[in-house]
């Protein structure tokens, strides 16, 4: 079955249909020919955030454009670890790539841009602490909450170092919504209860 493409589709004519951030597949389903899509990109009417992911130039400026791009490329992924810690101001580390959790049985995504570091997380606890972040006005991406983020940094402390994990814990405890009991609950479910309990006792005593 062949598509009967219109001679030309202008961005203005699609304004009510195309979301602020969209994929090439979404555009195609709305009747946009690839030649029009790339003509829009060439004229600056849209910006390509990642391969096959576009954002309208007339859309509000996104706070986290890389997160938006990754969310459209890997819909089930969850922003995690250092990337999430930076969002919650739990670390001063400069994060060179978007760290995302993917289910351990899934194939790790390969993105040329933005730089992405996929981490395999267990299926049984994959959605523990799952939250959302408004990456652009009205557009949300999946992210672990601050509590899960601290526990993950403690769980993976051999990867980034214990000082970073302990610093994140101390900052977390200063947050207005800190939940030490929930920290321990998450830690038990993620098999890091002992180290987290010890770190929590030390941080609380200090």
**Which pLDDT belongs to residue 3?**
44
Residue-wise pLDDT for 46-85, tens only, equals 999 999 999 999 999 999 999 999 999 999 999 999 999 9
The per-residue pLDDT for 177 is: 87
Q: What is the token pair recorded at 20?
A: 């602020």
Say what the pLDDT of residue 116 is: 95
**d(C-alpha 21, C-alpha 30), whole Å:** 14
State how beta strands 98-103 and 116-121 pair. parallel
Say what the pLDDT of residue 6 is: 44
pLDDT, one tens digit for every residue, the chain (206 residues): 444 444 455 665 555 688 999 999 999 988 888 898 989 999 999 999 999 999 999 999 999 999 999 999 999 999 999 999 999 999 999 889 999 999 998 887 788 899 999 999 999 999 999 999 999 999 999 999 999 999 999 999 999 999 999 999 999 999 998 999 999 999 999 999 999 999 998 887 76
The structure's pTM equals 0.90
**78-102 pLDDT per residue, tens:** 999 999 999 999 999 988 999 999 9
Bridge partners of residue 134, in order along the sequence: 140
Task: Please report, for residues 50, 83, 163, 170, the alpha-carbon distance to residue 107 in angstroms, rounded to integers and kept in the order given.
Answer: 19, 21, 31, 35
Strand-pairing partners, residue 132, are: 142
Cα dihedral sign, 67-71-74-80: positive
Residue 103: predicted pLDDT: 94
Looking at residue 13, what is its pLDDT? 58
């Amino acid at each position: 079955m062949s598509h009967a493409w219109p001679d030309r589709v202008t961005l203005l004519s699609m304004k009510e249909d195309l979301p602020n951030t969209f994929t090439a597949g979404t555009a195609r389903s709305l009747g946009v020919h690839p030649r029009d899509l790339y003509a829009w990109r060439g004229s600056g009417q849209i910006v390509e955030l990642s391969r096959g992911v576009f954002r309208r130039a007339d859309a509000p400026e996104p706070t986290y454009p890389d997160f938006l791009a990754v969310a459209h490329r890997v819909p089930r992924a969850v922003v995690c670890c250092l990337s999430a810690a930076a969002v919650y101001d739990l670390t001063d580390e400069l994060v060179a790539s978007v760290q995302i959790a993917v289910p351990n049985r899934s194939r790790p995504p390969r993105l040329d841009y933005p730089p992405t570091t996929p981490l395999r997380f267990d299926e049984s606890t994959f959605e523990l602490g799952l939250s959302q972040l408004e990456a652009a006005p009205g557009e949300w991406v999946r992210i672990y909450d601050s509590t899960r983020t601290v526990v993950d940094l403690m769980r993976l402390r051999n990867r980034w170092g214990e000082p970073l994990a302990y610093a994140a814990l101390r900052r977390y405890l200063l947050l207005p919504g800190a939940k030490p009991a929930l920290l321990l609950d998450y830690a038990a479910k993620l098999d890091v209860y002992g180290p987290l309990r010890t770190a929590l006792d030390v941080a609380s005593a200090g």
